[in-house]
Structure 1
Amino acid sequence: MTNTDICNFLVIGVDTTFIAASAKSAGYNVYAVDYFDDVDLQWACNDYRSAIKHYNGESHKDRSTFFNPKVLLELAKNLAEKWRIDAVLLSSGLDDRFDVLCELNNIAPILGNSPSTIRNVREKQVFFGKLKELGIPHPRTVVVKSVLEAKEAAAGIGYPVVIKPAGGFGGIGTRAASNPTDIVKAFSSASKISDKVIVQKLIRGFHASISILAGKSAVKILSINEQLLGLPSVFQNEPFGYCGNIVPFQTTKSFFGKCQLIAEKIATHFGLIGSNGVDIVISKDGTPHVIEVNPRFQGTLGCVERVLGINLVDAHVRACLYDELPTIKAPSNFCTRLILYAPKRVVVPDLTTLKGVRNVPPPHSIIERGEPICSVLAEGESRKTSLWKATRLAKVIYNRLQPLNW
């Protein structure tokens, strides 16, 4: 396959808006399957399907909790019957569904990691075993299926631990546990999302991610990013829930070198290609501990493109097909993405006129407490300025929401 063979991309996942916009900007026809019915996704697509459709006066309760990848697959098949699809670009939400990935790959080839490669980095017990062989720092991790197994695993690992769904995303259902009583509550939350549950040593430190681009012969770090998790200021009810990023995370040359070595070892061993992300926790001694690999485009895409001045879909295509990696300039600015969640049951006004708002819901949508409303992006010459601008825009949006009491 060459890029001249690709005219029509199918972009699929929970949140495809940023990828679709990037693909359109790179000159491709874009057909998208998305979970949320974002207005700005429609602007970026030739055609699209959403698992959720917003109608006046209608609410979709617990939208995030009961996400079903099979629904996205059926919508993808529907689009493929209508349009010629040359290749597939993956967003979040499908990483742990090997069956869905294989069926998608039959519709059109996934440009990036194959389903088998994705499975290899997402099968947690095997993945962390390989990290140990490679000498890559990581928290001790055990996969369990019952509360009893979780208690035994936590006792063996040593408290405190993190309990998370093996097949989850965005930090939903993830809880910390300091004793057996906590395990029961945490397991209940995680098991609502996935049959298999992960018990992992809690590493206290700074949450970050490494955005990498892998060709067949080389791996390059695009950026190291600050992760924003569980922020009360954006009404994220999940303690480890994803709230956005600040790009870049400023580091020393020594720390960057550690991350580069980790990226090279993981990408080379598992055969990763294209855009990938590595979630890490930086402990107090400055060690990056690998938490997981996201073997597809990440939620940092919009910020990374703005800070580096690149088109990430174009870079992904060139890395996958031609083993070409871009020259990365030193960042001269910062970009913050905040994901805003509903503080209570609300009606959302028309947000399309506000500059910097992404993942825009249709006007008059009803959003339940704790569910995502939209994203805001803001750039600045410093981290502080970028975050301040994003926070200011978030306040404007929150002030425009109309509360509902029924």
Structure 2
Amino acid sequence: MKILEDLALEYVNEVDYIICNSDVDVSRFPRNKIIGNVDTDFINNKYKLFKLLHKNFLLPDTYKLTDIEEAGEIVANFPDKQFIVKPVYGSGGMGITWYNENLSIDGDFILQEFINGDSVSSSFLSYPNHDIEMITTSDQIIGSKRLGGADFKYCGNVTPYIKPSDKIVNISAKISMMCKLVGSNGVDFILNNNNVYVIEVNPRIQGTFELVERSFKMNLAEAHINSCNDVHVDIPSVQQFSVKLIPYCLNKGYYDLSNIPFVHDISKQDYMFKKGEPLATIITSDRILENAMSRSEQVQKLVYNSKK
């Protein structure tokens, strides 16, 4: 990411706006150029976010710790619950794993109750008064073994989620107000029966960016800029389903992805992928969900079969 930041800094005086995504060090860029949320440490820090939201919304039990033995004492007090361990900062599910007493962790970490259910994310525009215009909800693909996504790695999305919830809209609106959000934002949820758990807040362009644009035939970057500038955005009706898959390398080696359709984020052919690294991004769309899913799965097979 630092390499991309360095490249971006070369053009910083030639652009009107800077739109930051996840893992970007916002402090490296001029504040007057950034359009969107800037002071987001209280959101990106998973424990600070828990402290901010847990009295108003349903969240998993969350603890900030430095000692794995202390984590074991907490886990022992809740024999009917499962727990996961997270870094205090992070995105994409990286570094998240199941708790076990043999884990070796340096520094602070998060011990969090595991909630089983559907993983979904909202996507909305926030205006300067922090009111929102809801765009959609997407199904999240997390830890897919078929895609090589061990544990809780982010493996893609399906947009839109076919079972929309008024609770998600209401909670997203309240969180936008509490966190004083502007621009394109999202919230990650777990839907467990009738319970809606808040997992994370994404104060930036999300991983569903391309899917929202394809499904709604809209320019989300333009919508982000307009909403930040308090220019009302009309959300188009959904036109089609979009599917994003991120296949991870199952066995280290070289892959020739150059002639496979619907594949993006392609590395050079002389790059040797290590096991567990993302190979590429697959994006498909269709008015019928089953067709979009089937096509993405066919492309996934081509990606894995392209190993030299």
Q: Is the structural similarity TM-score above 0.5?
A: yes
Answer yes or no: is 1:214 the counterpart of 2:126: yes
What residue number does 2:20 align with?
90
Asked if residue 232 in structure 1 is aligned to residue 150 in structure 2, the reply is: no
CA contact (8 A) 1:151 1:183 kept: yes
Could you tell me whether the CA contact under 8 Å between 2:217 and 2:239 is conserved in 1?
no
In the alignment, which residue of structure 2 is the partner of 1:267?
176
Once the two structures are superposed, residues 281-321 of structure 1 have per-residue CA deviations (whole angstroms, 9 ceiling, x without a partner) of 111x2222000111111111111111111110000000001
The one-character-per-residue Cα deviations of 1:1-36 (angstroms, maximum 9, x if unpaired) are xxxxxxxxxxxxxxxxxxxxxxxxxxxxxxxxxx4x
1:157 offset after TM fit, Å? 6.1
Which one of the candidate residues 189, 209, 212 is aligned to 1:280? 189
Q: CA offsets, 1:97-123, max 9 Å, x none?
A: xxx3223245x5321002x2x112223
2:154 equivalent among 237, 242, 245: 242
Say if 2:20 and 2:26, in contact at 8 Å, map to a contact too: no
> Are positions 1:136 and 2:136 aligned together?
no
1: distance between equivalents of 2:4 and 2:218? 29
Higher helix share: 1
Which residue number corresponds to residue 236 of structure 2?
Answer: 328
Per-residue deviation, 1:125:
2.9
Aligned-pair distance for 1:246? 0.7
Assess if the C-alpha contact under 8 Å between 1:220 and 1:260 holds in 2.
Answer: no
User: What is the CA–CA distance in structure 1 between the aligned matches of 2:94 and 2:42, rounded to whole Å?
Assistant: 22
The equivalent of 1:396 in structure 2 is 302
Give per-residue Cα distances to partners, 1:333-375, cap 9 Å, x unaligned: 2111001111111212152x43311111123321111111101
Q: Please report the TM-score for the alignment, with normalisation by the length of structure 1.
A: 0.70
Query: Is the CA contact (8 Å cut-off) linking 1:140 and 1:157 kept in structure 2?
Result: no
Q: Which residue of 2 aligns with 1:111?
A: 35
For residues 380 and 183 of structure 1, the distance between their equivalents in structure 2, rounded to whole angstroms, comes to: 46
What are the residue-to-residue correspondences of 1:7-22 with 2, within 5 Å? none
Counterparts of 1:123 and 1:235 in 2: how far apart (Å)?
Answer: 27
Percent same amino acid among aligned pairs? Answer: 26
AA at the equivalent of 2:21: S
Q: How large is the Cα RMSD of the aligned pairs?
A: 2.1
**Counterpart pick for 2:206 among 287, 298, 319:** 298
Are 2:24 and 1:102 aligned? no
Q: Unpaired segments of 5 or more residues in structure 1?
A: 1-34, 36-68, 95-99
Q: Distance in 2 between matches of 1:149 and 1:74?
A: 40
Call closer, same or farther: CA 1:123–1:366 in 2, change over 3 Å.
Answer: closer
Query: Equivalent of 2:219, from 302, 311, 315?
Result: 311
CA distance in 1, matches of 2:6, 2:186: 27
AA partner of residue 235 (structure 2): T
Shift of 1:75: 4.5
Quick one: which of 247, 254, 277 aligns to 1:347?
254
Deviation at 1:203, TM superposition (A): 0.7
Taking structure 1 as reference, are residues 155 and 220 closer, same or farther at Cα in structure 2, changes over 3 Å only?
A: farther
Decide whether aligned partners of structure 1 residues 262 and 200 sit closer, same or farther in structure 2, where only a CA change above 3 A counts: same
Q: Which residue number corresponds to residue 18 of structure 1?
A: none
Which range moves more in the overlay, 200-209 or 213-222? 213-222
Matches of 1:261 and 1:156, distance apart in 2:
33
Shift of 1:78: 4.3
Q: Tell me, in whole angstroms, the C-alpha distance in 2 between the residues paired with 1:294 and 1:157.
A: 29
Q: Structure 2: how far apart are the matches of 1:201 and 1:350?
A: 39
1:359 and 2:265 correspond: yes
Tell me how far 1:79 sits from its aligned partner.
4.5
* Counterpart residue identity of residue 233, structure 1: R
TM norm structure 2: 0.91
For the structure 1 residues 87 and 363, does the alpha-carbon distance in structure 2 shift closer, same or farther, using more than 3 Å as the test? same
Partner of 1:51: none
Structure 2 Cα separation of the partners of residues 146 and 221 of structure 1:
41
Tell me, yes or no, if the aligned pair for 1:224 and 1:247 is still in contact at 8 Å: yes
Runs of 4+ in 1 over 6 A off after TM superposition: none
Whichever residue aligns with residue 104 of structure 1, its letter is F
* Alpha-carbon distance in structure 2 between the residues aligned to 1:326 and 1:153: 48
Q: Hey, what's the Cα distance between the residues in 2 that align with 1:157 and 1:196?
A: 22
* Corresponding position of 2:46: 124
Counterpart Cα distance in 2 of 1:334 and 1:258 = 22
Match of 2:185, as an amino acid? N
Secondary structure, aligned partner of 1:226:
strand
Q: Match of 2:156, SS? A: strand
Which residue of structure 1 lines up, in the alignment, with residue 102 of structure 2? 184
Shift of 1:76: 4.1
Hey, what's the Cα distance between the residues in 2 that align with 1:157 and 1:125? 20
